[in-house]
Structure 1
Amino acid sequence: MLVIGNGRMITRDLENPFVEDGAVAVEGNTILKTGVTKEIKELYPEAEFIDAKGGVIMPAFINTHEHIYSSFARGLSINGYNPKGFLDILDGMWWTLDRHLTLEQIKLSAMATYVDSIKNGVTTVFDHHASFGAITDSLFKIEEAAKAAGIRSCLCYEVSDRDGKEKAKEGIMENAAFIRHARKDDRDMIAGMMGMHASFTISDETMELCAEHKPSEVGYHIHVAEGIEDLHQCLHVHGKRIIDRLMDCNVLGEKTIAAHCIYVNKHEIELLKNTNTMVVHNPESNMGNACGCPPTMEIVKAGVLTGLGTDGYTHDMLESYKVANILHKHHLCDANAAWGEVPQMLFEGNAKIANRYFKKTLGILKEGAAADIIVTDYNPLTPMTKDNVNGHILFGMTGRSVVTTIGNGQVLMKDRELMQIDEEKVLADCRQAAAELATSINKR
């Protein structure tokens, strides 16, 4: 049993949102009770005590759109790579990288991502995977890493026709096999989805094959209108906009994640809302790829369940929070924009999205919820109250403010030391694998 206390506690529980000297008691993978440190310690005197040392205690973060396979791209130089636009970035960097990944490199990519996730206080990840050189068993390799790291993960493989029909079918079969496997997980730590790359790389025939092999209880995870080229292709080839095509193919729905949604109009936003489809915003990636700024504020205001992801650009959800906050202020020329919408996406939307796939209540510190808890070393210089906690988080913290991470009741990191993973060995293995991957790419 654990008690985490002696810190300012942000619970995300509307009935008890902030406790000045708070503590949370954990039994197994479940929160037993929250309250004032002195009272909680007296109730559970035999529990192991984790001292927040005046820092901030709050729910662990959830990342609803990640790309584990991109881990070894940092600093990667590819011969001849000189992109002139988004399609060049995809083909020259990401599709080139994923074609060269081996199964072992995929697992190590996942370990690298999960190590960074733990260090940044992320304990739940929705990953969108691609490895066209090693498709079969790729999701199972990521699961091995997820189990070793203790990270709750919802996985899928991005089906695409870009490397031919046979590989598209192999990707569909990998998704289907993993979804069946994940059904049997009684730990509530693994889930599966039917992944698809994007409308412009998926034929009607492949869409139909995905639907044929997708169990009814899961949805799709797909990039939507990330680049203008996706929209142009859909209009030219299919005679309709992307959301309309996905609607006609029965892709939309309450279990489906539509990532990005940059080039969507009011009509399409209404379809997303009416079908209860989930949207995930990835601000840094959109800016870094020069894809444009999505109408995320309109999407949120329309009542679409919207979350915040990183697209593999970072594993720090607070970095994404900061970037989203300034992106929409800058884009709209409105200093009042995004104050409420972005924290709603990060702290409420991500939890609601995750709970469409995981049973245990996530994103909140209250009795019965999952014991996913972080402690940061942030000690505010100005008053902190239930009304201004988001301002303190936005301007006072980064992901690396996290000193202790607890996932599903397990202490994954304590005082910045990883407890379940031999970090030195993992990083050494990752460095070797990344060097081998870079060599294989540039030999082509």
Structure 2
Amino acid sequence: MLIIGNGRVVTRDSANPYIESGAVAIEGTQIKKVGDLETLKKEFPDAEFIDAKGKIIMPAFVNAHEHIYSAFARGMSVNGYDPKGFLDILDGMWWTIDRNLTLNDTYLSAMATYIDCIKNGVTTIFDHHASFGSIEGSLFEIERAAKETGVRSCLCYEISDRDGMDKARASVKENADFIRHALKDDTGMIAGMMGMHAQFTISDETMELAAANKPDGVGYHIHVAEGIEDLHHCLKHYGKRIVDRLMDHGILGEKTLLGHCIYVNEHEMDLIKDTNTMVVHNPESNMGNACGCPPTMHIVHKGILTGLGTDGYTHDMTESYKVANVLHKHHLCDANAAWSEVPQMLFEGNVQIAERYFPQKLGVLKEGAAADVIVVDYIPPTPLHAGNVNSHVLFGMTGRDVVTTVANGKVLMKDRELLNIDAEKVLADCRQAAGALADRINSR
């Protein structure tokens, strides 16, 4: 038994949203009880106690779209890289990196990413992986890192024809093998999807192959209309818009997650809504790649389940919250935009997306929910209550304010110290491997 208490508890439970001096009692992998500190300490006198010292106690974050394989890009310079558009960015940087990754690089990239996730209070991620230099076994290497660090993970490999049909078939097989493996997992911490890069790098033949090899019970994770080039390609080669092509191949559905959706029209949104398909918005990446601003506010208003992701650009969900908030205000020239929609995406949408793949009740501190709890070093300078919590998160917190992270009842970080992970050694290994990767790329 563990009690995290003596803090301001933000529960995300509408029946009991805020406790000024509260505590969370954890038994095993679940929350046993939430209430005031003295009551819980009397009820569970033998419980281990973590003193929040007046800080914020709240549910851990979910990241609905990650790219673990991008970890070694930080600080990397690729000879001759001078992109003139989104396709140049993909081929010149990201596809160049993924073609040169070894299985050990993938494992270490996952370790580095998971360490950052823990430090930023993220305990559940949906990752979209690519390593066309080493496909077979890559998802299993990420799973190994996930289990070592304790971060709940839904994994997939991005199928693409961009490096030929042999690798396309290998990527389908990697997805299918991992999905079957994940479906047997009884921990509730690992899941799998059928990953796809984007329609403009996937032929009809490969889409049919993916469908034929996809186990029942899972959907697809695919980039959709991230760049205008994707839309132009689909119109030119297939005579239809992207979401229509996905619909024709049976890709849409309640277990499918569409990343970005920048260049989608009203008709496509209706298809997404009617098929109960999920969408994830990635604001920093869209801005950083100069891809454009998606109609996310309209997507949310149509009732489409929409989440928030980082696209590997960061691992701090509060950063994505801040950027999404200002992006849509600026884009729409409307100071009232995004106040409710973005926190809905982060605190509700991401949780609902995760619950389509994981059995636990996530994103809330209440009896029976998963014991995913963080303590945030934030002492409010103004009154904090149930009605203004989101404003305090938006303007007062960053991911690096997280001091303690608990996932599935296991303390992963306490007082900023990572437990059960030799972070110094892992990061030293990462620096060595990343340096070797850069040397391989630039010696081509």
Give the whole-Å Cα distance in 2 for the aligned partners of 1:439 and 1:38: 58
Which residue does 1:157 correspond to in 2? 157
**1:249-303: CA deviations, max 9, x gaps?**
1000000000000000111111110000000000000000000000000000000
Which residue does 2:398 correspond to in 1? 398
Give the whole-Å Cα distance in 2 for the aligned partners of 1:183 and 1:349: 23
Question: Is 1:197 the equivalent of 2:187?
Answer: no
Which residue does 1:368 correspond to in 2? 368
Give the whole-Å Cα distance in 1 for the aligned partners of 2:306 and 2:40: 35
Which residue does 1:111 correspond to in 2? 111
**1:362-381: CA deviations, max 9, x gaps?**
11100000000000010001
Which residue does 2:40 correspond to in 1? 40
Report matched runs for 1:20-419 at 5 Å.
20-419=20-419
5+ long unaligned stretches in structure 1: none
Give the whole-Å Cα distance in 1 for the aligned partners of 2:22 and 2:241: 50
Give the whole-Å Cα distance in 2 for the aligned partners of 1:349 and 1:310: 14
Give the whole-Å Cα distance in 1 for the aligned partners of 2:344 and 2:209: 36
The letter for the 2-side match of 1:108 is L
Give the whole-Å Cα distance in 2 for the aligned partners of 1:187 and 1:102: 28
The letter for the 2-side match of 1:246 is L
Which residue does 1:11 correspond to in 2? 11
Give the whole-Å Cα distance in 2 for the aligned partners of 1:98 and 1:65: 17
The letter for the 1-side match of 2:399 is G
Give the whole-Å Cα distance in 1 for the aligned partners of 2:8 and 2:269: 39
Give how far 1:216 is off: 1.9
Give how far 1:38 is off: 1.1
Give the whole-Å Cα distance in 2 for the aligned partners of 1:420 and 1:367: 27
The letter for the 2-side match of 1:344 is Q
Give how far 1:119 is off: 0.1
Give the whole-Å Cα distance in 1 for the aligned partners of 2:240 and 2:311: 26
Question: Is 1:421 the equivalent of 2:421?
Answer: yes
Give the whole-Å Cα distance in 2 for the aligned partners of 1:395 and 1:7: 19
Give how far 1:310 is off: 0.2
Give the whole-Å Cα distance in 2 for the aligned partners of 1:227 and 1:40: 52
The letter for the 2-side match of 1:155 is L
Using structure 2 for the length normalisation, give the TM-score.
1.00
The letter for the 2-side match of 1:348 is E
Which residue does 2:439 correspond to in 1? 439
Give how far 1:45 is off: 0.8
Give the whole-Å Cα distance in 2 for the aligned partners of 1:43 and 1:271: 51
Give how far 1:382 is off: 0.3
Q: What SS does structure 2 have at the residue aligned with 1:310?
A: coil
The letter for the 1-side match of 2:149 is A
Give how far 1:22 is off: 1.2
Q: What SS does structure 1 have at the residue aligned with 2:351?
A: helix
Structure 1 runs of 4+ with >6 Å offset: none
Give the whole-Å Cα distance in 1 for the aligned partners of 2:302 and 2:418: 41
Q: What SS does structure 2 have at the residue aligned with 1:33?
A: strand
Identity over the aligned pairs, expressed in percent? Answer: 74
Give how far 1:430 is off: 0.6
The letter for the 2-side match of 1:215 is P
Give how far 1:324 is off: 0.1
Give the whole-Å Cα distance in 2 for the aligned partners of 1:47 and 1:267: 55
The letter for the 2-side match of 1:241 is R
Q: What SS does structure 1 have at the residue aligned with 2:128?
A: strand
The letter for the 2-side match of 1:414 is K
- Matched residues, number: 444
Q: What SS does structure 2 have at the residue aligned with 1:424?
A: helix
Give the whole-Å Cα distance in 1 for the aligned partners of 2:283 and 2:192: 25
Give the whole-Å Cα distance in 1 for the aligned partners of 2:105 and 2:176: 22
Give the whole-Å Cα distance in 1 for the aligned partners of 2:265 and 2:430: 42
Give how far 1:117 is off: 0.2
Q: CA RMSD in A?
A: 0.4
5+ long unaligned stretches in structure 2: none
Give how far 1:163 is off: 0.3
Give how far 1:167 is off: 0.2
Give how far 1:232 is off: 0.1
Give how far 1:308 is off: 0.2
Give how far 1:184 is off: 1.2
The letter for the 2-side match of 1:11 is T
The letter for the 2-side match of 1:106 is T
Q: What SS does structure 2 have at the residue aligned with 1:83?
A: coil
The letter for the 1-side match of 2:62 is I
Q: What SS does structure 2 have at the residue aligned with 1:244?
A: helix
**1:78-116: CA deviations, max 9, x gaps?**
011000000000000000000000000100000000000
